[in-house]
Amino acid sequence: MASTKGLASEASTKDFQCRIATVGLGLGGEGGEIADYIKKVLFHGKEFSRETLIKELGDVMWYVAFACNTLKIDMQEVIDKNAEKLRDRYPQGKFTREDFLKKETRERPQEAGGYDINDQDVWRSAS
């Protein structure tokens, strides 16, 4: 298990609720930093830096490790469970739109029969 001991504030480690709040807020914040960085690279002319992205991914990984420590689960077990979920979702071992849509319909049946994002009329009517 990756150690995060001593690297979180006292308030963040006060109790289980504070630890979970730290995970959620921290992952949201770090995900936002990555999104903002990529936005600046794609649309503002900022030069892409592999090192910058790696450092931000490291920040995300720290919160993932903190979450694993809080939940007393090994990171490898989380990775294995995710792989199992994806194998179940994509039984052919690769992404297919059909399998993706099956999953979406299963999780959000109220949205079944909704918009086809590839239909250009959908975009014209929304603008």
The nearest distance, CB 102 to Mg ion, in angstroms, is 36
Quick one: which segment of 5-13, 39-47, 51-59, 106-114 binds Mg ion (CB under 5 A)?
51-59
Q: Where are the alpha helices (DSSP H) in 1-114?
A: 16-43, 50-71, 75-89, 97-107
Closest distance between Mg ion and the C-beta of residue 127, in Å?
34
Q: Which of residues 27 and 78 has its CB atom nearest to Mg ion in the complex?
A: 27
Type and span of the H or E element at 123 = helix 120-126
33 near Mg ion, judged by CB under 5 A: yes
C-alpha distances (whole Å) from 51 to each of 30, 36, 47, 54, 110 are 15, 16, 12, 5, 43
The minimum distance between CB 30 and Mg ion, in angstroms, equals: 5
Task: By CB under 5 A, name the one of 59, 62, 75, 103 that touches Mg ion.
Answer: 59
Regarding 99 and contact with Mg ion (CB under 5 A), the answer is: no
Element (H, E) at 122: helix 120-126
Per CB under 5 A, residues contacting Mg ion are 33, 56, 59
